Structure 1
Amino acid sequence: MKNVLKKRKLFLAVLLLLAIVLLPYLWSRINSRANRVLVFEMDEPGVAVAVEPSSKLRVACYNIAHGRGLAESNWEGGDAQTRMARLDEIADLLVELDADVVVLNEVDFYASWSNRVNLAEYLAEKAGYRYRVEERNLDFRVLLWTWRFGNAILSRYPISNPQVIDLPSYSKVETLLAGKKRGAHCEVAFGASIYRIVGLHLSHRSEEIRERSAGQVSELIADLPQACIVMGDMNSTPPGLPRSATTSEGANTIMTLTENGHLTRNIPNNPPGEAELTFRSDSPEMIIDWILVSESLEFQSYRVVDSLLSDHRPILAEIVTFNGSEPEELLKTGG
């Protein structure tokens, strides 16, 4: 009888432990916002910026690495004070870049390792971006720890019609349990023009997955009526550049986007100089962060910004309507 009671107590204890662990997790997955985008408008951003469109649209993309700086793990990167100070530096950098629209990758939304701060909201407030889109890739909670991050689009100009880009998954089980990389796109009204901004962070694991994602994005772009600006950490490099990769069939992510998606890209020197490389920021060796634009647009300037606030370097570009010049000449910036 005593053995039976002990087994029952052990069984109940195990059930209680499972409930303590699983219930918050299941609740977080049920209420996950990873399958939709959230749009916000601030009444009074912390920094006043001019909102009258010029003749050039300035755009930037930046993988901010969860605000951890150059640390390898998200749980590293310094104490709370250090991380907040780094966020302030990133905000100052965004102010300095003076972009009209910014795509941010690896953005935490109240994640445990970044002091439960919504990094998109914090940076938008500090850098003076009134409008923003938040898109979550991973979104779950275990006990007291929350994993919640994805992409953000910050804009000085009104955002409309935001949508999630549901990219191919690396593992269906992993997607069900935690989430996966997705993208977001929205319309931004810039004066009399409306642009479709596409924010991406493609898989770091497989060129096959990245290239399939690129094919899906290309199909999306083909159906959009507006000129598109595609930005973010693509984790891919076109053939001829350092660390380029192809699928088993010889396809490449950047080439799929530019050829099938009818996008144009900056043409780096070959071999590229250090100032053109985007990763890793403290020892740059490849170009995996990109800004791509529809063929109706052209780059008037394009540069990789030297910064050690993340393991990626940001990219800043000025874009104007294509005027008939030869694309190869226009895109050859040399960094």
Structure 2
Amino acid sequence: MNDSFRVMTYNIHHGVGMDGRLSLERIAEEIRVSDAGIVALQEVDRFLPRSGFRDQIGWLSKKLGLHAAYAPSINMRFCQYGNALLSRYPIVNKRVVYMPGTLERRSILLAELLIDGRKLTVANTHLGIFRTDWARQMPILQDELARMDKPSILLGDFNMVTGNKYMKKLRPRFIKVQLQTKMPTLSYGGEIDHILVNAPTSEAFAWVQPSKASDHQPVVALIKWHPSVISR
């Protein structure tokens, strides 16, 4: 397995930027500029009127030449809304775990990527906005994470800051990759988009990629596994 990865988590707000304009092309450019090989996306539409009936993940996959997986948190006949994954590496397995929510159902997208003959598990999620949501959703997420005994990466929009008591429940199994410089991941303030790993690293740091293409800003991380991980 490669010892170094560049990954991204990005709530794309179905392609609507801070200027109120819908442009999936701007989202594609943010992903391209990041040079991330693994990209976790939240708030991705498929065939919804508000986003021009476009299959957003299908379009991004084709535009960027990346493998894709999708987890529809909400199904409205043929319209869908949820989480997605883009990957430079083949996606050999995908599973979706659903979680209850006050305003809407939430989900966890679990995918296995094949890298140099070894599998890497990637989990992408988008939690609710209320404490009552976190109280119901976090145990489900913890249960899924507890099954991961191989090197894994957890990414997503958690709708809570690092110091939140529910975020602390992910430790010590998963450790957050810290931002190099404290910057909001929400365009209007707040650090609620996170990248975490469950295996030792020799180098791991993250940064915010300034952007107005969504109401969130992309978070990108460089993760370099410790030699002990590669030799497993």
Q: TM-score, normalised by structure 1?
A: 0.63
1:113 to 35, 50, 57: 50
2:70 is equivalent to residue 134 of structure 1? yes
Is the strand fraction higher in 1 or 2? Answer: 2
Name the CA distance, whole Å, in 2 between partners of 1:123 and 1:298. Answer: 32
Q: Is the CA contact 2:178–2:205 (under 8 Å) kept in the aligned structure 1?
A: no
AA matched with 2:61: A
Identify the residue that residue 83 of structure 2 maps to in structure 1: 151
| Cα deviation, residue 188, structure 1 | 0.7
Identify the residue that residue 153 of structure 2 maps to in structure 1: 229
Give the secondary-structure state (helix, strand or coil) at the position aligned to 1:125. Answer: helix
1:44-73 deviation line (CA, Å, top 9, x unaligned): xxxxxxxxx8541111010000111126xx
AA matched with 2:184: L
Structure 1 pair 299–215 and aligned structure 2 pair: CA distance change class (3 A)? farther
Bigger Cα Rg: 1
AA matched with 1:138: I
AA matched with 1:97: S
Q: Is the CA contact 1:196–1:227 (under 8 Å) kept in the aligned structure 2?
A: yes
2:171 is equivalent to residue 258 of structure 1? yes
| Cα deviation, residue 127, structure 1 | 1.7
Name the CA distance, whole Å, in 2 between partners of 1:211 and 1:299. Answer: 32
Larger deviation, residues 111-120 vs 300-309? 300-309
1:303 to 194, 199, 207: 207
Name the CA distance, whole Å, in 2 between partners of 1:193 and 1:304. Answer: 29
Larger deviation, residues 132-141 vs 207-216? 207-216
Q: Is the CA contact 2:177–2:205 (under 8 Å) kept in the aligned structure 1?
A: no
Identify the residue that residue 94 of structure 2 maps to in structure 1: 162
Q: Is the CA contact 1:199–1:230 (under 8 Å) kept in the aligned structure 2?
A: yes
| Cα deviation, residue 225, structure 1 | 3.1
2:111 to 178, 182, 186: 186
Give the secondary-structure state (helix, strand or coil) at the position aligned to 1:126. Answer: helix
2:6 is equivalent to residue 58 of structure 1? yes
Is the helix fraction higher in 1 or 2? Answer: 1
Identify the residue that residue 217 of structure 1 maps to in structure 2: 141
Name the CA distance, whole Å, in 1 between partners of 2:179 and 2:33. Answer: 24
Name the CA distance, whole Å, in 2 between partners of 1:218 and 1:298. Answer: 25
Cα RMSD of the aligned pairs, angstroms, is 2.2
Map 1:1-335 to 2 at 5 A. Answer: 55-70=3-18, 77-78=20-21, 83=22, 86-129=23-66, 131-141=67-77, 147-170=79-102, 180-204=105-129, 206-239=130-163, 252-259=165-172, 262-267=173-178, 273=182, 276-279=183-186, 281=187, 283=188, 285-297=189-201, 299-322=203-226
| Cα deviation, residue 298, structure 1 | 5.5
1:204-235 deviation line (CA, Å, top 9, x unaligned): 2x123224322221221221232110101000
Larger deviation, residues 100-109 vs 213-222? 213-222
Q: TM-score, normalised by structure 2?
A: 0.89
Structure 1 pair 220–161 and aligned structure 2 pair: CA distance change class (3 A)? same
Tell me the number of residue pairs that the alignment of Structure 1 and Structure 2 aligns: 228
Q: Is the CA contact 1:105–1:151 (under 8 Å) kept in the aligned structure 2?
A: yes
AA matched with 1:95: R
Give the secondary-structure state (helix, strand or coil) at the position aligned to 1:166. Answer: strand
Structure 1 pair 211–193 and aligned structure 2 pair: CA distance change class (3 A)? farther
1:62-115 deviation line (CA, Å, top 9, x unaligned): 0000111126xxxxx34xxxx3xx211211221111111100000001111100
Name the CA distance, whole Å, in 2 between partners of 1:228 and 1:102. Answer: 14
| Cα deviation, residue 189, structure 1 | 1.4
AA matched with 1:154: L
Give the secondary-structure state (helix, strand or coil) at the position aligned to 1:295. Answer: coil
1:164-183 deviation line (CA, Å, top 9, x unaligned): 1222333xxx7xxxx61111
Give the secondary-structure state (helix, strand or coil) at the position aligned to 1:253. Answer: helix
Structure 2: gaps of 5 or more residues? none
1:215-263 deviation line (CA, Å, top 9, x unaligned): 2212212212321101010001133xxxx5xxxxxxx22111224xx10
Q: Is the CA contact 2:178–2:206 (under 8 Å) kept in the aligned structure 1?
A: no
1:3-36 deviation line (CA, Å, top 9, x unaligned): xxxxxxxxxxxxxxxxxxxxxxxxxxxxxxxxxx
Structure 1 pair 126–218 and aligned structure 2 pair: CA distance change class (3 A)? same
